[in-house]
Structure 1
């Protein structure tokens, strides 16, 4: 096994020598790092001219499978349908709603406006760029702290581990992947004492997904440790950080309505975020996804654990701000008690920096071990993504086809289920702002116990739904519950509407298609 070197500080040596071959033969990956360090000494531009295309190429290879599926998970279908509704004149947090902040739906809308709304490939490309930008920001932080080799290592480990999840979590263009560059940018700005910009980046991360705001904690740690308290300098830095954080949030609140933003992003999701209901199901998912993420990050975790076990001076490498960042991100994963696989992506940036720092205290053979291990694991996960398909995708396509056959493009439909991509695949507009049964029943998150039903939905959602359906009856309603706890038989008002005004005409893979009879 590789052995630890005697501790020699946390910064790169001032006069490094080329790495020698270990007992495993030549160390090509370490020699690449040596070349990066030589380029860095010739000028900072050379380093980035070498590293940037390498990171982009590596990210492209790992995310190529993302372009092979039309929709990876319900979040993508939800966002695509929201984007179409916004483009048709919908209003965010009024006639277009979700529990998430507005940046990603607006990003989808913008991409559809530029490239058309028939494919998600522009969003997959933007997701690829997001991962690459995150890796380069981490490289900059690590290089500033520990040297060029650490920068390249942090970037490579971040990209390689970014696909270490179930493909529908790792390859999708959803909230977490777009949150990552903002969290990394917040720490990059704080590391350089650009406090207003750091606060603004925290706000941007929050406006992608609420848990992105957790990066404010390590930013404040850097502020407290890096700014002297005398002369009001610390108070001034804190003021700039908080103003930078608050200004974008206030602007978004004024744009979409402060009350509506607070409801949909914060106060309206208490039932969704509760732990009660399907505890064993939730704990099983937590165990499975935590294990899977740990397997995908094994090349990062092993060096950290090795350094923690060794008696080495690690105070300037495994620093407090990085541990706080990791802990705050873990809190973001736990929040809501759902433990979906894509939640774990938030842990990746601090883990990559901790691993890069730990490898500074270990031999070159440990660097080779970490990178080769990450490459092998990444290859396995990428191959899995390239040879898999979402289980519900064929079902959603068949349901969408049944809807198209029974409606015209200007007729609205209601799809009572948890697969909002069916609206997008059918190219039909929803009859309601509530795109899943989860918003109306609290089934979202996989709960199948006592906390599913009309009274557990978003406050005020059922009166709003009935008003929408009364204003314009959908031509087709598809009951895609397939026996789940949110089935119409347990929703009296929906059952009454179906039995009085609709005729059952077909069953598609267990989904029941109802067509309006024309009478009320």
Structure 2
């Protein structure tokens, strides 16, 4: 049944002979300015697709969390001790460095770095595709990637957060592995993991390429050294036990599937549908061609499968998790389209461009009510406190600390770390007993040692409301009283005894 379509596909296939791993040599002639022509196009496309990120002071709570962490680190905080999160250290350090160079009043430098990260990812994908299938496939991979790179809810796609800085590391790992540079490949995998844990999934296709090449012992050792060195250094630069706890072992309740199953599955289906719409130009040729024609893309399928597993890990299905799928999808699209007639490539780019325009308009025009709410809370706090006062925002929007320019009263910047509400989980596994292990004794000590001038209850009826968290309710009723109401949030002022 497949003989006829396969023959048809081969008739329009590039006439060059593939190499031993299915790759094609670049078809550029001597002196042809391939990169000189392509790089400005990719740079312009990266800037245009990231325009919405410049229209807001920040896009997501993750950006707010990172900004507050960076300020705390700059003022003597210690990562995985007095500054905590469930993420590895690379992106908090990046924020800290950017703030040290450019000041901490704007995220614009980080937004520019996010543009550069997306451009670098596209360039690496171009290089991988060009090495395998020629110049045209390289251009296709880079352009397709940037067109689909914003194909999610703008809050997920436009934020200068963990996944965006993880992506060039994953692409670099595949680029290095494709060239048998195993030490560099291991380092790139380590950097991907240190940006976000799920970035380590790229180790699977990298390991596959190593195994296909015979896996000489020296190459295995180079890969292991490249991988282990940066991770060990990060652990030693922070705290080995704290690093292990906060990045690996301390998230059991967060990663549990129990609680809010329908809510979480619904989110996963919606985000999958949004990504499918963004990739409408890529998926048809991939499905049609790669299942019936050999293109030397086995490791790319493995990369995609590992990335899908990374999205599933933790059972939260946030939209920004899906960014990890985009680089392998772009390469698979280029692999499929280089087999098909040229008009199919034009059609795929036009469809992807149309979808990109829709997502671009969404990012530019969509209102951001939660950001507006956090901004109003921050303005209220700034008006009723002094620069040296500490405050506590009891909610899921740590960006309020950064917007208010006030010091957090606790290292726990969201109610999620103290109740397991993180990620919109609203089922039975929300409460004090589901908090990060050991968090509540530390939290109580912090509030006793330096009581916040204001506590802003921004729960607005959610399961982590103070009346459902007895320890916090006792603190509020004993030492504070409601003084203001702002759009459903309650501002508690300290009562002098």
| Alignment TM-score, normalising by the size of structure 1 | 0.91
The change in CA–CA distance for 1:281 and 1:367 in structure 2 (over 3 A counts) is same
- 8 A contact 2:12–2:340 mirrored in 1: no
Residues 209-265 of structure 1: CA distance to partner in whole angstroms, max 9, x if unpaired? 000000000001111112x36xxxx22211110111001011111111111000000
Task: Select between 410-419 and 489-498 the one with higher mean Cα deviation.
Answer: 489-498
- 8 A contact 2:12–2:341 mirrored in 1: no
State the 1:6 CA deviation.
Answer: 3.5
State the 1:117 CA deviation.
Answer: 1.1
Residue of structure 2 in register with 1:7 after alignment: 10
Residue of structure 1 in register with 2:51 after alignment: 64
Q: Distance in 1 between matches of 2:131 and 2:212?
A: 17
1:93 equivalent to 2:72? Answer no
The Cα RMSD (Å) is 1.5
- 8 A contact 2:14–2:339 mirrored in 1: no
Q: Distance in 2 between matches of 1:420 and 1:389?
A: 20
The change in CA–CA distance for 1:43 and 1:8 in structure 2 (over 3 A counts) is farther
- Equivalent residue for 2:155, pick from 147, 168, 178: 168
Q: Distance in 1 between matches of 2:157 and 2:467?
A: 36
- 8 A contact 1:77–1:420 mirrored in 2: yes
Q: Distance in 1 between matches of 2:72 and 2:260?
A: 33
Residue of structure 2 in register with 1:25 after alignment: none
Residues 184-222 of structure 1: CA distance to partner in whole angstroms, max 9, x if unpaired? 000000000000000000000000000000000000111
- SS of equivalent residue, structure 1 residue 392: helix
Residue of structure 2 in register with 1:495 after alignment: 473
Residue of structure 1 in register with 2:168 after alignment: 181
State the 1:332 CA deviation.
Answer: 0.5
Residue of structure 2 in register with 1:127 after alignment: 114
State the 1:42 CA deviation.
Answer: 2.6
Q: Distance in 2 between matches of 1:185 and 1:51?
A: 19
- 8 A contact 1:10–1:146 mirrored in 2: no
The change in CA–CA distance for 1:300 and 1:503 in structure 2 (over 3 A counts) is same
Q: Distance in 2 between matches of 1:92 and 1:12?
A: 55
- Equivalent residue for 1:425, pick from 389, 403, 410: 403
Residues 117-140 of structure 1: CA distance to partner in whole angstroms, max 9, x if unpaired? 111111111111111100000000
1:339 equivalent to 2:317? Answer yes
Q: Distance in 2 between matches of 1:173 and 1:389?
A: 19
- 8 A contact 1:12–1:146 mirrored in 2: no
- How many corresponding residue pairs? 484
- 8 A contact 1:199–1:244 mirrored in 2: yes
Residue of structure 1 in register with 2:189 after alignment: 202
Q: Distance in 2 between matches of 1:477 and 1:341?
A: 31
Instruction: Give the ranges of 4+ consecutive aligned residues of structure 1 lying more than 4 Å apart after TM superposition.
Output: 8-12
State the 1:9 CA deviation.
Answer: 9.1
- Equivalent residue for 2:277, pick from 295, 303, 309: 295
- 8 A contact 1:82–1:96 mirrored in 2: yes
Residue of structure 1 in register with 2:417 after alignment: 439
The change in CA–CA distance for 1:316 and 1:502 in structure 2 (over 3 A counts) is same
